[in-house]
Amino acid sequence: MNDDGSSGDGIRLSKRVAAQASCSRREAELLIENGAVRVDGEPVLLPQTRVQVGQQVEIETGARPVPVAPVTLLLHKPAGLATDQSHRLLVPANHHAPERAGLRFLPRHAAGQRCMTPLETGASGLVVFTQEWRIERRLTEDAALLEHELMVDVAGPVGPEQLARLNQAPARISISQQAEGHTGLRFALKGPRQGEVAHRCRDAHLQVLGLRRLRIGRVPLSGLLEGQWRYLLPHERF
């Protein structure tokens, strides 16, 4: 490779953009990371991409070289997947389709995401990843105040005594559905610890068949299918 970043395989896109826009290499990288650069009509989001002399590089009119704003992502974690592995699902192919049409995914959106609301491996449902310090602080400092809503499927029927045993403050538990061989329970409790729901059920002599988290505070799982994710929208508050 030559000192100017060029080689027989082309030149780094960031160097090409810096020369074309008369800006610094860092500013060029920011333009690329913000999705403001197209190569031969297609958006390219990685500054290290190599381009040939004959390729057309376009920079969006009015684009500003600013850092990509941090985001919060909401994932429907599938059962059987460890939380510390679920960040692998934060890829464009798993972006919730109705939202994908209006919001552009940038590689920076998945980088450095921190999981703030882990679930047991056997559980499914809403998991929050964030890059935003305000969201991280809210989910950490106010964790004990945020209500979580969970649907818990247990084996067999649930009698009045078992339900009363489950309904110890600060939880509210009710029967949502009953079917042959199992019962669906709705749990609403503040700041649950990992394993707490299973422990409560064992205490009431109930076998947990499945657990799914539907809501954290005022933010719902909504229409996300297992393995899909979406952005936390500006108007949403935990």
Q: Does residue 21 share a domain with residue 78?
A: no
Q: Where are the alpha helices (DSSP H) in the chain?
A: 13-21, 25-33, 97-100, 133-141, 160-166, 196-203
pTM: 0.82
Q: Does residue 122 share a domain with residue 180?
A: yes
pLDDT score for 172? 92
Q: Does residue 184 share a domain with residue 133?
A: yes
Q: Does residue 109 share a domain with residue 18?
A: no
Q: Does residue 42 share a domain with residue 151?
A: no
Q: pLDDT digit string (tens) for 62-94?
A: 999 999 899 999 999 999 999 999 999 999 999
Inform me whether the pLDDT recorded for 35 exceeds 90: no
Domain that holds residue 87: 72-231
Per the structure, how many domains does the chain have? 2
Q: Determine the 3-state secondary structure of 104 from DSSP.
A: coil
Does residue 237 lie in a domain region? no
Q: pLDDT digit string (tens) for 94-133?
A: 999 888 877 788 888 998 999 999 999 999 999 999 999 9
pLDDT score for 104? 80
Does residue 64 lie in a domain region? no
